Amino acid sequence: MPQRPEDYDFALLNRALLFAAEKHSGVFRKATGMPYIFHPMEAAAVAATVTNDPEVLAAALLHDVVEDAGVTEEELRLNFGERVAALVAEESENKRENMPAELTWKIRKQEAVTHLASAERDAKIVALGDKLSNMRAVARDYETFGPDLWRSFHCRDPEEQAWYYRSMTRALSELSATPAWREFAELVERVFGPEPED
């Protein structure tokens, strides 16, 4: 892991951060109204506890720009290269824009879980940054709002949310030796309780 400033490619990270900030400008998180850009920043900070690979960290900063901000993979490829674009693509859901998000939620989440279970480690690092950032927000908001929290989500069923986050814990278990994965697993259990035994 990097210990010195010179271990980081600041030029790439600065470009990725500025690009993400521009694309997410004026967008806010669902429950708290916090500016959205803090989420990819936190995702990248989590990823940086696992790797100092500049392209992985840039992908963590950019992980939502295709899925949520209308950026094309080709635009990412031109600005940040093939590998960054590919890592972002691996973290981007097929939103099925012609259908209500509530109706496609389970399909999209199952696709994400299935894909990540066999994905390369670098893609899992980007995903862990994203999912841990999300789970931290869920845990904080759950303490404030309790079960009413789920009203702001496309899927309002806490059992389905539990299924998704527990499934993600297993899909990302290749990273189970990292503090970030352990924190993720602990937060999932704190919010949803221990996984039921078969």
Report how many domains make up the chain.
1
Q: How confident is the model at residue 101 (pLDDT cuts 50, 70, 90)?
A: low
Q: How confident is the model at residue 154 (pLDDT cuts 50, 70, 90)?
A: confident
Would residue 198 count as lying in a domain?
Answer: no
Q: In whole angstroms, how far apart are CA 63 and each of 6, 23, 45, 70?
A: 24, 11, 13, 12
The answer to whether residue 76 scores a pLDDT higher than 70 is yes
Q: For the chain, what is the mean pLDDT? A: 90
Is 182 contained in some domain? yes
The whole-angstrom separation of Cα 122 and Cα 101 is 28
In a domain, 126, yes or no: yes
pLDDT at 3: 54
- Looking at the domain assignment, is residue 72 inside a domain? yes
Residue bearing the bigger pLDDT, 104 or 82: 82
Task: Say how far apart CA 91 and CA 115 lie, in whole Å.
Answer: 9
Return d(Cα 117, Cα 61) in angstroms, integer.
Answer: 22
More confident residue, 95 or 146: 146
Q: Which domain holds residue 37?
A: 5-192
pLDDT of residue 95: 64
CATH number of the domain to which 29 belongs: 1.10.3210.10
Active site residues: 67-68
Q: pTM to 2 decimals?
A: 0.91
pLDDT at residue 31, rounded to an integer: 65
